[in-house]
Structure formats: C-alpha cells, structure tokens
Structure 1
Amino acid sequence: MPESSYIPWIIKYRPKSLSDYINQEEAKTILLNWLKAWDKGSPAKKAVLLYGPPGVGKTSLVEAISKEMNCEVIETNASDFRRREDIEKRIKPAATKMSLSGKKRLILIDEVDGLSGTADKGGIETMLELTSITKHPIIMTANNPFHPDLKPLRDASLLIELKKLNQRDVVKLLKGICEKEKIFCEDEALKIIHTKNEGDLRASINDLQNLGLSFGKVTASLVNELIYYRDREVNPFDTLRNIFTSKYAWQSKLAVSHSQVDIDTLIEWLSENIPVQLTEPEDMYLAFQALSRADIYRGRMKRTQNYDLLSYISEMVGPAISLSRKKTKFKWIKYEFPKKIRMMSETKKARESLNKAAAKIAKVTHCSRETVKSEYIPMLRALYKVNKTLATQIMEGLKLEEDEIKVIVGKSKESTENTEPSSTGPMKAEESLRKFETSTKKMGTRARKKRSL
C-alpha cells in the first residue's frame, strides 16, 4: 500500500484556500472584513470567537484564510494552557511581539470552551486581558460559547457562527474524495454517512476512509451495517428546537439526554423561551404546567437525595413540553439566553463578597452564615440608613474589606467613594464592635428560645 494511504484524509483533503472551503459564505465574509480592518489599524474588537458544532471546519477556515492572506499562524489549544502562568508564558509573547519574518501573524486559540472559571486559575481573566493588549488578530474557537463562565470573552469578541453543513455540500465533497482515491461509492451511502454523523464533516471523512480502504468501495449496505449513529452533545439552542419540534416522546428524550447543559440549566432555558415559541395560551399553559412539575420533582430530589426522580424530571422537560404544542405552528425564532443565568454571572463578584463578609461575621457571632445573611446583614443595612457612623464603626471592627461593606450597605462604587470614611479611630471601632457582639448574642438567645417554643 502506498505511503500516502496512511495519511488521514481529513489532513490530505483539508482546504488549501478559501475556494476549497465549502459553504459558510456569511462567516467567511465577516471574518475577512474583520481581518482587513486590522490593516487600517486595530478594530473595535481585537478578538473573534468562532463557534459551531464539532467537525464543521472552524480550524480549517482559519488555516485557509491565513494561506489566502499569507499570514503566519500561531496555534495553541486552550485545554493545554489553562492557568494564568501558562497563558502568560506561551501565548502572551506571541500576541504582543512582532514576527521576525515580517509576515502578518494570526493567533489561533482552539477550544476556549474547555476553560473553566473555577478549575482554571485566572485562565479566562488572562485571556480577556490578552484580547485588549494584543498586537495581532486573535481567533478563538468553541463548540459551545454560551457557558456563563465565558461571558467576559463573548462580550470582548466578535462572535461568528459556523452553521451545521447541509447534506448536499457534504455528499458533493465526499464524492470528490472517492473519485480522487478511485473508490466506488453510492450516493445513497454518502447520504447515510452524513445523516449518521449529523453534518460533522470530520467524522464523515473518517468513516469514508475506514470503509474505502477496508473494502475498496462504499455502499449503502456497508454503511448501514458498520457505521453507527454518533452520540454527541447538542448546544442549548438546538436542544430547545429539538424539544419543541419533536413529534414523539423518544425524540424529545433524546434531545434532553444529548444536551450540552445540565437539567437545572435546561429548565432555565425553557422557562425563558416557552412564551416565545408557544404563542397559543393553551399550549403555553400546558408547557409551564409540565415545567412546574419538573421543578417540584427537582426540589424533592435535592431534599431527599433520591436521584431516581431524575427520570421524572427528564419526562417533564422533554416529552411533556413537546406534546404540549397542539395549536401553535412552529416558527424559526431566535431563542433568548436566560436572564437569571446572565444575572447570576454578572453578580458573581458581589455574591462572593457577601459570602466573605458573612463568614467573618459568623465567626464573631458564633452562628451560621445563613443566619448572618438572614438576620445580621439586614440589621447592619438598616442601621447604616439610620446611623452611618455607628454602622461604619461596627463593620470596620469586623475587619470587613471595602467591597464587602459596599455589598452590605447596597451602595454603588461611585456613591461609596463619595462617602467620607470613619475618622473615629480603632478604639471607637472596637467599642462599637463589643456593643454589636452583645446585642447580637442577646438577639440570638431570644431567637433560639422562640424557636424552641
């Protein structure tokens, strides 16, 4: 067998220019215009976030454009460089220094959705800083860019979507490969390969190569016998569309089980978009009834730790909502990102500051953080409105940081900065703190007696 046979066809037939790159005309135009804007100076957004389902050709598009524009590509994978120090050591020098060859440079960062805001220390923050100081275009790729942790990167980047490839374009490309490799193929077999891979071109080419090299032909009977449907995760937008368009229970169950988002997040997505998709009042009522039951089961599952209830939740958010569409005609609409998730992401820093403040107060008052949040922090907030000086003395005595005080008193950064700091000194602060401890202990004793009664 010739040596070229061992070359993976996804490498051998990778597009060498934009003319070889099939479909995605809108995405190509937007990306080209953005890169040309760099020739006139830095554009408004110095980074692009290229997103779409697996195997649609995100990396191949960047490589094809770089060859077209004679650019040097510096390619990295975000999954390999997760921490702040890794990014500053490997990616930052390439983005901030000029090329020795004098060529234009492109920074390609694959799979940024592999970064996690909690597990990867400072990775997203450093990537965000990089997009503001870079001297070269940065192109990031992601399968699912809508994770809450990635919101800062989405806001700082130009989002370009690569849509799932249609059957006609995939079959045409696969047929062209078979002709070049001198392998007999049936059109029906190529259509089945596309269907089983759900438009994933990379997986389709891999399946074609496996069959072609093994049997010397690609027929419908071989494909049906040897190629299996691929289990893949589906983004929340397609998940919702699949749920709302399902005619059978098994279809909507499949949509729920293959979703990229967990069941809690899916409930938020459905709550936000049911009124948008189901416009008939009766359909909307039935869908929200199913969703409310799912929420009841979810609460019961968390309280009792009985995870057998998860199957009932899946039934409610899948088949029950799908079958609630009786009168509404399906329309292709743009689904909205859940406001609650967006708000939670935006208020994350404030919630962290509140938790830190609650932990400090709990240590002094010898009670739980939940009790501090429900009883003591509201008391401090009310006291601040009546007597700012005393409230400030108490909070200083508790060793609360500036951001923690701002969260407790509910003031914005600007208004807090305009408030004169307490000039009472440490002695007054300690005296106020002792009074606070005494009063809170009395309050806690009264509350415990009341609960015992």
Structure 2
Amino acid sequence: MSLSSYVPWAEKHKPRSIAEIKEIVGDADYVDKFISWLKGWRPGEKAALLYGPPGVGKTLLVEVAAKELGYELFQLNASDARTESMLRRLVGQSSKSVSLYSSKGKLVFLDEIDGLYGAEETGAVKTIVELIKESRVPIVMAANDPWDPKLRALREVAIMIEFKRLKVYSIIKHLKKICLREGITADEKALKIIAELAEGDMRSAVNDLQATAQGKKRLSVNDVSWLRARNRQYQAFDVLRMIFVSKRCDDARNVINSSLLDYESLMLWLDENLPRQYTDPEELAKAYYYLARADIFLGRMKRGQRWELLRHVIDFMTAGVAMAKIHPYKFTKYGFPQKLLLMAKAKDMRAKRESVCEKVASKCHLSRRKASTEMIPFLHVIFETPGLVKRDISRWLELDESMEDFLKKQG
C-alpha cells in the first residue's frame, strides 16, 4: 500500500475555499457572519467566539478564511497554554506585531478554550480578555460549549457565532463527492447510515467512510452495519470525561450510575484511553494499577459468582482511576476501544458466513455444518481465482454482493 493511502480522508478531501464550505453548510448563515466580522474588524473591536459541536467546521473555516483572505494564521490550542505567562509569551507578541509574510497581517486563533480547567486557567481567561482589548490584530476563539461560567468574561468581549450540526443530506452530498474522487460506487443507503450516525459531525462521517470503504470499489449497506453497534456506545465519551474531571471519590463513583455503559465496557474504554488522558508516567502507572485491581476483582467475581465484589470493581475503575490524577484535567479527544471494534467486525463476518452456509445448504441439500466444513473452503478458492465460473455459481446460489465479497476475502 502506498504512503498516500494513509492520508486521512478528512484532511485529503476537506474544503479548500470559502465557497466550498458554503456549499456544504447550505443556507446556514454562520460562514457569512464570520467572514463579515473578519473583513470589518478594526483594533479595539470585539473578538469572535465560534461555538458548536465537534466536527462542524469551526477550525476549518478559520484556516480556509485566513488563507483565502491573505492573513498569516497564528494558531494555538488554549488548553496547551493555560498560564498567564505562557499566553503572554505565545499570543501577546503575535497580537501586537505586524506580519512579515502577509499584507493583511496576522489572525490569532485560540482553539478549544472550553478545555481550560482549574485555578491556573482562571488567570488564563483574564489574560485572554486583556489580550483581546490590547490586540492590534483580530482574535478568534473556538469552543464546543461556551456557556461554562468560567468563560463569561470571554463571552462579554466577543461576538458569538453559533455553528449548527450539519444536515444529513449535506453530509451525504459531501460523502458522494469523496466516493467519486476515490473511484468508489456507494449504495446511497450506506451513505445515509454513515451520515445519520455521525449526528451532524462531518469529520466523524468522513472518518467512518474511510474506515468502511478504503481499498474497495463498492460500498454496501452490509459494509457499514457494524457502525450501528459502535454508535450505541456514543455516551462513553461523556462518561470518561466525567470520571477524569472528578475531584472526589463519590463524584467519580456516581458517574457509572448515570451511564449507558456496563462496567465491563467501561473497563475497555478506560484501558483504551488512559494513555491519552494521563501523559505523566506516575499518573498513568497509578491509574493502570487501579484498573488492574478492578480486573482482578472482576475475574474473582465471575468465577465464584461473588457479586458482593462488584462494588470493589466499580470503586477501583472509577474512584481509583480518577484519584490517580496529579495534574489538572486537560481536554482530550478519546478513541473507541479497538477490542469492541474487532468484536463488531467479527460478528458481521460470522453473520455473512451463516448467510452463505444457508444458501449452500438449501441448494445442495446439506446441513449447515456440512456446508460450512465441506463446501465453503472450495468456494473460497473458486472466488479468489480469476474466471467466469464463479459468476454462474453466484447466480445459482443467489448470492448478493456482500456474500461474494466475503468469499473473496476469506480465500
């Protein structure tokens, strides 16, 4: 596989102009509001605060607008510069100096400002307000949730521009373009499933499209069916964040009571995301110690049917993991547990195998067991070998496209 195949499609196929972005968002007015603010900004005027759910194009619009309108973009994740001294050093100079590379000057962009937490960040918010008032260049901020009380001072010195979740048909339209560029023939029902499960998040939709379609010539409904199983765990991201932000054992322990996750699934989510949240080796070692203890007690509970141990399992995986924290909570993008993804894919493959076995058993008057052990191995060989005979066999067995793909891949 070439190196180019590893390029994320969300990056490879992202809009490159303001016009392309407007084509995707349709009749939404937030693009025009931002461009109007940027073109008309003068020293002493308010900053802009772009807010809305992840994946709706806040960061993208700032990057594209800066390039198209001729600004030198200075971009910083606010949660990475949380002290007054860091902000003044990194942002202060940029907000007062002229650009050597652009006639329009600089555009300062502070992303994820709602990722600020703790006592240090109180001073950071105050510093950002001062920088906005002193700045000789436009300053843009972005947040998923701008209504946190600690951000009130920032709301008062900024115009609020809300980004809405993208409509399903807008996402489908963009996914069709990507499929066309990648040479993929996609079932519109499959694209609709991806778009609906994305819940207005274009980046998520494109990532799912790449995960299900890359390397294929056709995309069917069966190819995306495992996404539904994954999406049922969507609330896990909030559960993880609530555990990691907890400062008291009771708060962390109570999170699981309002969670859609069972304790075993939560353990998988924690195991996958601890290295993302805890970057300090001491924090990570302590967190994994408590998660390992939870796993030990879970095993004892299952083997001996000793359900009184469940409270210890929950204590270790919630309060124990939360109290391993040394440094203030930092906003982190979590990932889906690979084990659950593999299990969902394996379940999908088993379902396809059962469907093929049923077809073969019916036509050949065999049991499903014999069809599986005596006929399927030969069909694998036939379908991976070039030739026309497999077309006749497929027609006779009445196989659909997903069943043919299964036989080709498993050969």
TM-score of the aligned structures, taking structure 1 as reference length: 0.50
For 2:211 and 2:241, the matched residues in 1 are separated by 28
Change (3 A) 1:53 1:307: closer
Cα 1:94–1:142 shift into 2, 3 Å: same
For 1:85, the equivalent position in structure 2 comes to 85
Secondary structure of 2:119's aligned partner: coil
1:79 to partner: Cα distance: 1.4
Moved more, 81-90 or 110-119: 110-119
Does the CA contact (< 8 Å) of 2:122 and 2:150 recur in 1? Answer: no
Query: How far is the alpha carbon of 1:53 from its aligned partner?
Result: 0.4
Cα–Cα, structure 1 residues 309 and 49, in superposed 2: closer, same or farther, change >3 Å?
A: closer
2:150 maps to 1:149? yes
Give the aligned partner of residue 44 of structure 1: 45
- The CA distance in 1 between the partners of 2:227 and 2:132, in whole Å, is 46
- 1:184 aligned to 2:185? yes
Alpha-carbon distance change, 261 to 160 in structure 1, aligned in 2, over 3 angstroms = farther
Matched to 2:225, the amino acid is N
Structure 1 residue 91: deviation in Å? 1.3
Q: Deviations over 1:276-321 (max 9, x none)?
A: xxxxxxxxxxxxxxxxxxxxxxxxxx9xx7999989999xxxxxxx
Q: Which residue of 1 aligns with 2:224?
A: 223
Aligned residue in 1 for 2:32: 29
Q: Identity rate of aligned residues, in percent?
A: 36
Q: Is the alpha carbon distance of 1:80 and 1:307 closer, same or farther for their aligned partners in structure 2, counting shifts above 3 Å?
A: closer
> Could you list the per-position Cα deviations for residues 254-294 of structure 1 after superposition, in whole angstroms to 9, with x for gaps in the alignment?
9xx879999xxxxxxxxxxxxxxxxxxxxxxxxxxxxxxxx
Q: Does 1:162 align with 2:156?
A: no
Are the aligned partners of 2:129 and 2:157 in contact in 1 as well (CA < 8 Å)?
yes
Q: Which amino acid aligns with 2:13?
A: Y
Give runs of aligned pairs for residues 116-131 of structure 1, distance below 5 A: 116=117, 118-120=119-121, 122-131=123-132
> What is the rounded CA distance, in whole Å, between the counterparts of 1:312 and 1:231 in structure 2?
15
Q: Check whether the contact 1:34–1:43 (CA below 8 A) recurs between aligned residues.
A: no
TM-superposition CA deviations, 1:373-429 (whole Å, max 9, x none) = xxxxxxxxxxxxxxxxxxxxxxxxxxxxxxxxxxxxxxxxxxxxxxxxxxxxxxxxx
Shift of 1:138: 0.6
Deviations 1:228-270 (A, max 9, x none): 216556xxxxxxxxxxxxxxxxxxxx9xx879999xxxxxxxx
Is the 2:76–2:109 contact (alpha carbons within 8 Å) kept by the matching residues of 1? yes
Aligned position for 1:98: 98
Report if the CA contact (8 A) 1:116-1:124 is conserved: no
Q: 1:231 to 1:78 in 2, by over 3 A?
A: farther
Higher RCO (C-alpha 8 Å, min separation 6): 2
Counting matched residue pairs gives 250
Deviation (angstroms), 1:3: 3.3
Instruction: Report what 2:200 is aligned to.
Output: 199
**Match of 1:34, SS?**
helix
Q: What's the TM-score, normalizing by structure 2?
A: 0.55
Distance 1:309 1:34 in 2: 44
Provide the rounded CA distance (Å) in 2 between the counterparts of 1:75 and 1:310: 34
**Alpha-carbon distance, 1:109 to partner:** 0.9
State the 1:184 CA deviation: 1.8
CA 1:312/1:58 → structure 2, altered by over 3 Å: closer, same or farther? closer
- Structure 2: gaps spanning 5 or more residues: 260-411
Q: Give the 3-state SS of the residue equivalent to 2:92 in structure 1.
A: helix
